[in-house]
Amino acid sequence: MTMGEKKRFSRFLLGGAKSLADSTDPNAGSPRSWLAGAERLRKHGDVERATVLYRKVVDSGHDHLAPVAAYHLGFLLAEHGDDEEAIDALRTAIDSDKPEIRASAALKLGLLLQATGDDTDGIRDAFKMAVGLGDKNDAPQAAYLLGGVYLDENDTRTAQHYLQSAIDSGHPVWAARSALRLGLILEEAGDLQAAQAAWSVAADSSEPDSKVQALIKLSLAAHEVDKAIAEAALREAAAVDTSQWVAMTHYLLGKLLYERDANDEAWDIFTTSVEADDPQWSPSAMVGLGLISAERGDPAEARRWYELAADSEDREAVEAATKHLAELSG
């Protein structure tokens, strides 16, 4: 490097350092540099100084940058527990003419108001705005949440409207969750056929929790009508890669297999449920293993499983295990 290049490089470094200092100094620079500085500070975890700069941009009243700063300030404050000022900042962002931030700000505002729980009208208005702005991600989530708001108010007709709106969006998460919830509403209203249609939408999705729950509901609905369909739905549910539902899906599948005398496979399925160590479903699978052991002519093994189930905190499993233990003793 020549002497001239060294001097040029030094001037570049000095200029960059000054630019960075100006961008993070609230007493120097411009709204644009303050916003850039706030972003740098936020990314480095300096919340206090980032907040100061965001507020400075908002207070500047800059037509384009103040709403953006208010948006980021609202999310930052919400993340760190200052809900009151976060709500004010988000309302500033919503009142702007920037569609790229209004929908997300409206959704976040609705969630914050919902967390505080003291402004039902504000919650509805925020979510409705997010739906109306039509963002492909925020609108379906807001529609799903609105469905829940109206369901809590026992307005099932309006709840169904917004849930159907989320379903129609085809969003991979919120359409599936809305379909599952809509199915539950329709089931409670006595329209099982429509409920099954809604659950089928969730069952065909890639959202694991909604998929598993919908498949379980479809299986239970088919159980008395067509056990082959019920079993197929449970097998699909048990194959979904989600640890939360392993014990339940495998217990239900094992129970169905046991009912049709497929005991060898039922044993393996019940064992998977037990190994999941779920306090609600694993004890019932232990009872299933006890029943199979008894049928195989191994009362000692049956007793071991029944005693394990009886020692659990699952009331139904305890009652069943206690009954079978009495039968063994008799």
The residue assigned the tokens 């232990």 is 286
* 208 in any annotated domain: no
* 282 in any annotated domain: yes
Whether 204 has a pLDDT exceeding 60, the answer reads yes
Number of Cβ atoms within 10 Å of the Cβ of 118: 8
How far apart CA 17 and CA 34 sit, in angstroms, is 15
In this prediction, residue 28 carries a pLDDT of 54
Whether 9 has a pLDDT exceeding 60, the answer reads no
In this prediction, residue 24 carries a pLDDT of 52
In this prediction, residue 116 carries a pLDDT of 84
Whether 194 has a pLDDT exceeding 90, the answer reads yes
Give the highest mean pLDDT range of 23-27, 30-34, 63-67, 200-204. Answer: 200-204
* 268 in any annotated domain: yes
Whether 20 has a pLDDT exceeding 60, the answer reads no
In this prediction, residue 231 carries a pLDDT of 97
In this prediction, residue 22 carries a pLDDT of 44
Q: How does the average pLDDT of the chain come out, rounded?
A: 90
* 258 in any annotated domain: yes
* 117 in any annotated domain: no
When pLDDT is averaged across residues 269-290 and rounded to a whole number, the result is 98
Which tokens belong to 177? Answer: 């969750």
229-265: pLDDT as tens digits: 999 999 999 999 889 999 999 999 999 999 999 999 9
* 47 in any annotated domain: no
Q: Which domain holds residue 299?
A: 244-330
Whether 11 has a pLDDT exceeding 90, the answer reads no
Dump strand ranges (E) for the chain.
Answer: none
In this prediction, residue 4 carries a pLDDT of 54
93-108: pLDDT as tens digits: 999 988 889 999 999 9
For position 319, which CATH number holds? 1.25.40.10
Using 50, 70 and 90 to split pLDDT, how confident is the model at 190?
very high
* 25 in any annotated domain: no
* 90 in any annotated domain: no
When pLDDT is averaged across residues 294-305 and rounded to a whole number, the result is 97
Rounded percentage of the chain residues whose pLDDT exceeds 90:
78
How far apart CA 317 and CA 324 sit, in angstroms, is 11
Which stretches of the chain are DSSP H helices? 3-24, 31-43, 47-60, 65-79, 83-94, 99-116, 120-133, 138-152, 156-169, 174-188, 192-203, 208-222, 227-239, 246-259, 263-275, 282-295, 299-310, 315-329
Q: Is 22 exposed, middle or buried (0-12, 13-18, 19+ CB in 10 A)?
A: middle
When pLDDT is averaged across residues 207-215 and rounded to a whole number, the result is 97
Q: Which of 7-11, 144-148, 246-250 shows the lowest mean pLDDT across its residues?
A: 7-11
Whether 209 has a pLDDT exceeding 50, the answer reads yes
In this prediction, residue 101 carries a pLDDT of 93
Whether residue 277 contacts residue 313, with contact meaning beta carbons closer than 8 Å, is answered with no
Whether 25 has a pLDDT exceeding 60, the answer reads no
Using 50, 70 and 90 to split pLDDT, how confident is the model at 283?
very high
Q: Which of 104-118, 153-167, 286-300 shows the lowest mean pLDDT across its residues?
A: 104-118
Q: How many domains does the chain have?
A: 1
Using 50, 70 and 90 to split pLDDT, how confident is the model at 313?
very high
